[in-house]
Amino acid sequence: MIDFEIVKVFKRSVTIEVCCDTPYENKKIYDIFINGEKKISINKNVISIFDLLPDNDYNIYITCENEDSDKKNFHTEYEYVLLNVKDFGAAGDGVKTDSVCIQAAINACPKDGTVYIPKGKYLCTPVFLKSNIDLWIDKDAILIGEKDRKKYPILPGMTQSSDENDEYNIGSWEGNPLDCFAALITGISVENVLIFGEGILDGNAGMLDWWKDAKKKNIAWRPNTVFLHNCKNIAMQGLCIMNSPSWTVHPYYSDNLLFLNNTIMNPDNSPNTDGLDPESCENVLILGADISVGDDCVAIKSGKYYMALKHYKPAKNIVIRNSIFRKGHGSVTIGSEVAAGVYDVSVEKCIFEGTDRGLRIKTRRGRGEKSVLDNICFENIIMKDVCMPFTANMFYFCDPDGHSDYVQNQDKMEVNEKTPKIGKIAARDIRCENVKNIFACLYGLPEMPVEEIVLENITLNFDKNENIKPVVPIMMDNFPTMCKRGIFAKNIKKLILKNIEITGSKDSNPFMENIEDCECTGVSFN
């Protein structure tokens, strides 16, 4: 019997999740039927169906070879009106700039309405969302970022309130309240919005100079492709987002977010083009994502020291499931901008394929005492061709002072209001194939050791290629290059290694230093 759950029903679409033991996909093909009609044949565990009608009854069931599921009923949401952007003057020819026409449709759309973008190429500067509407980007519809940065509005980083007793933050750049260009799709203090369809959001960064002199501000800092600030109840479903100038999808100080069946693609050499970066967000669900980028695929953040001090909001309750992460520096990363802390992260039933690192935790002195990373759990993961499956680094060199003695000194320093903390991290039921450099590289601060790391039920084999280039596994000064190493662990209060089988390592003696309590059972090197 096939079992599945209806994840979310919208006006014109639905997302389901098949209960399958294998991460992300099944070896067999599912046939999905809506009201008795086959809608799609697919092997993915998370499936979105489009082209439904609003305010209608439907039933859905699945067949797979000789197995069937039960029928489940659902009713699509009510829609008041459908507004076609071409009726507002949008050309969709890739020549005329259509953002004013699209913005007019959004501004005119009433509550419970949908703005419809049909097939075509829509050259755009940033458009801004409003509450209580849907934005439907249909199949073969492409929103393309305008090439001239001077046509992009700027989001001010911080503005003092009129009574001088407060401040208002809009723009953000790498954890600080700095002026940045607005994103192709920008939402500021909006709620109850769905952005959906099988269309494309193309940031068009490669056609301009967004990726050149990446660390240099040019008028303002580079835009995201989707930026959601102080938003609630937002969903993105089915879209392809590509060629982003910087972090691709950036929810910021936002809550109750759904990301369903989205694909994010940036060139693997494009700078700072993280895939999906929830920053200081709560209650985030990422399902069925397919991400390949030039930096971290998913990076969970909570700002730098100033934002944690003045606008404290940790990231918490984040679930990532049945997704695949391909090229990138890290598959799922916590950090490094985590000054307000990150709590309760669950990553399960995912495939990491070809990324530099799998689980990547990065922080540093200066993030502050509110920077606590705790209850991070990875389960049922397959890693293929991941160079370094597990890394935790509390000496991460970032920011102008990243190479300073304060950040990089490996001697024990005073614990104060600038000292970060890593709590409990667990990774269980993991299979790693063709690892290149090191299984686990875990480095806490001597004055603030990592509280607990659990690695359990893990099988790992190293790449048989004898010509693999040694690399530095974590970004800290004076750390050695490594190749086919097993375990490096330093400055950890409690380390639990249980039922781990490592094949093809060049060493069979884990390096461990300043580990207060180590429980090691069933660990073998073959």
34 falls within a domain:
yes
Q: Are residues 108 and 56 in the same domain?
A: no
Q: Are residues 111 and 180 in the same domain?
A: yes
Torsion sign over Cα 177, 182, 188, 193 = negative
- Helix or strand or coil: residue 87? helix
Neighbours of 46 (CB within 10 A): 24
**Residues in contact with 224: Cβ distance below 8 Å, sequence separation at least 6, in sequence order:** 183, 244, 245, 246, 247, 248, 249, 250
Q: Are residues 66 and 130 in the same domain?
A: no
Q: Are residues 186 and 89 in the same domain?
A: yes
Q: Does the predicted model carry a pTM greater than 0.95?
A: yes
Q: Are residues 180 and 234 in the same domain?
A: yes
Instruction: Name the pairing type of β-strands 127-128 and 113-117.
Output: unpaired
pLDDT for the residue 326:
96
Q: By C-alpha distance, which of 458, 338, 445 is closest to 393?
A: 445
Q: Are residues 12 and 50 in the same domain?
A: yes
Q: Contact 275/264 with Cβ under 8 angstroms? A: yes
pLDDT for the residue 347:
99
315 falls within a domain:
no
Token pair in block for residue 440: 């686990």
443 falls within a domain:
no
259 falls within a domain:
no
Range(s) of the domain holding residue 70: 4-75
Distance in angstroms (rounded) separating the CA atoms of residues 106 and 102: 6
Distance in angstroms (rounded) separating the CA atoms of residues 357 and 359: 6
415 falls within a domain:
no
Task: Give the active site residues.
Answer: 295, 329
Q: Among 75, 103, 126, which residue terminates a domain?
A: 75
| Cα 343 → chain centroid | 15
Give Dmax over CA atoms of the chain in angstroms: 69
Give per-residue burial for 332-365: e unless 16+ CB within 10 Å, then b. Answer: bbbbbbbbbbbbbbebbbbbbbbbbbbbbbbbbb
Q: Among 228, 251, 274, which residue terminates a domain?
A: 251
Q: Are residues 125 and 11 in the same domain?
A: no
pLDDT for the residue 175:
98
364 falls within a domain:
no
CATH number at residue 174: 2.160.20.10
Place of tokens 């919005």: 193
Domain count, the chain: 2
Distance in angstroms (rounded) separating the CA atoms of residues 227 and 195: 12
pLDDT for the residue 506:
87
Token pair in block for residue 292: 């390949």
Distance in angstroms (rounded) separating the CA atoms of residues 377 and 452: 12
Burial class (CB in 10 A: 0-12, 13-18, 19+), 150: exposed
User: What phi and psi, each to the nearest 5 degrees, are found at residue 175?
Assistant: 90, -5
Q: Among 75, 96, 113, which residue terminates a domain?
A: 75
CATH number at residue 57: 2.60.40.10
423 falls within a domain:
no
183 falls within a domain:
yes
**Residues in contact with 524: Cβ distance below 8 Å, sequence separation at least 6, in sequence order:** 500, 501, 502
Distance in angstroms (rounded) separating the CA atoms of residues 432 and 482: 17
Per-residue confidence in pLDDT tens, the chain, 526 aa: 999 999 999 999 999 999 999 999 999 999 999 999 999 999 999 999 999 999 999 999 999 998 999 999 999 999 999 999 999 999 999 999 999 999 999 999 999 999 999 999 999 999 999 999 999 999 999 999 999 999 999 999 999 999 999 999 999 999 999 999 999 999 999 999 999 999 999 999 998 889 999 999 999 999 999 999 999 999 999 999 999 999 999 999 999 999 999 999 999 999 999 999 999 999 999 999 999 999 999 999 999 999 999 999 999 999 999 999 999 999 999 999 999 999 999 999 999 999 999 999 999 999 999 999 999 999 999 999 999 999 999 999 988 899 999 999 999 999 999 999 999 999 999 999 999 999 999 999 999 999 999 999 999 999 999 899 999 999 999 999 999 999 999 999 999 999 999 999 988 888 999 999 999 999 999 8
Q: Are residues 40 and 101 in the same domain?
A: no
Q: Are residues 68 and 148 in the same domain?
A: no
Q: Please, what is the Cα angle at 329 between 307 and 155, to 5 degrees?
A: 35
Q: Are residues 71 and 89 in the same domain?
A: no
Distance in angstroms (rounded) separating the CA atoms of residues 271 and 246: 7
Burial class (CB in 10 A: 0-12, 13-18, 19+), 376: buried
pLDDT for the residue 462:
96
Q: Are residues 87 and 67 in the same domain?
A: no
| Cα 34 → chain centroid | 31
Q: Are residues 58 and 96 in the same domain?
A: no
pLDDT for the residue 167:
98
